[in-house]
Amino acid sequence: MAVKILMVCLGNICRSPLAEGILQTKLDPKVFFVDSAGTADYHLGKKPDYRSIEVARKHGIDIARQRCRQFSAHDFNDFDYIFTMDKSNYRNVISLGQNENEVNKVKLLLNEIELDIKEVPDPYYDTQNGFEHVFQLIDKACEVIAVNLND
């Protein structure tokens, strides 16, 4: 059975779709299933933000077929690892956890790497440059996650 990893942000249109697409490129799809979700329901069923689609495309990754969905407590059953983009997402996700096992599945993405910042900034009100910065942060963390998962 595949190892399942869920990437979570607020809207599931900017950061977590990038995290899903980036981590997928680093893992064997026969062994790993990667998905993403948002804690909010603002954009359900929508494609990722055009700026995330563009920055991913620039780096050779197609995320345009993804569609927004909301995180649900069922995801604790379905996924082995849940990575959140910022502390607010982290708190929102663990608040739905029913037990220690579920809560322990949830990590802050940037805790995987040594950095001064611990949160992937919300780029929604930023420019395309902000999306490039977000891409680089997520890519570094996903590289470490992929190496650890492949060990």
Window 111 to 150, contacts with ligand 4NP (CB under 6 A): 122, 124
Show which residues are catalytic. 9, 15, 122
The phi-psi region of residue 45 (left if phi > 0; otherwise alpha if psi is between -120 and 50; otherwise beta) is: left
Window 29 to 88, contacts with ligand 4NP (CB under 6 A): 38, 42
Q: Would you call 70 helix, strand, or coil by DSSP?
A: strand
Name the one range near ligand 4NP by CB under 6 A: 3-11, 53-61, 76-84, 98-106: 3-11
Asked whether the CA dihedral 64, 70, 73, 74 is positive or negative, the reply is negative
Name the one range near ligand 4NP by CB under 6 A: 9-17, 58-66, 69-77, 99-107: 9-17
Tell me: does residue 13 bind ligand 4NP (CB under 6 A).
yes
Tell me: does residue 12 bind ligand 4NP (CB under 6 A).
yes
Q: Would you call 84 helix, strand, or coil by DSSP?
A: strand
Q: How far apart are CA 97 and CA 25, in angstroms?
A: 29
Report how many residues bind ligand 4NP under the rule CB under 6 A.
Answer: 11
> Which of 5, 6, 15, 110 is the binder for ligand 4NP (CB under 6 A)?
15
Q: How far apart are CA 130 and CA 30, in angstroms?
A: 33
In the bound state, the residue with its beta carbon closest to ligand 4NP is 11
Question: Please, what is the minimum distance in Å from the beta carbon of residue 108 to ligand 4NP?
Answer: 14
Tokens of residue 128, six digits: 């395309």
Nearest to 46 by CA among 54, 38, 57: 38
Q: Which residue has the tokens 């869920």?
A: 6
- Residue ranges in contact with ligand 4NP by CB under 6 A: 9-15, 38, 42, 122, 124
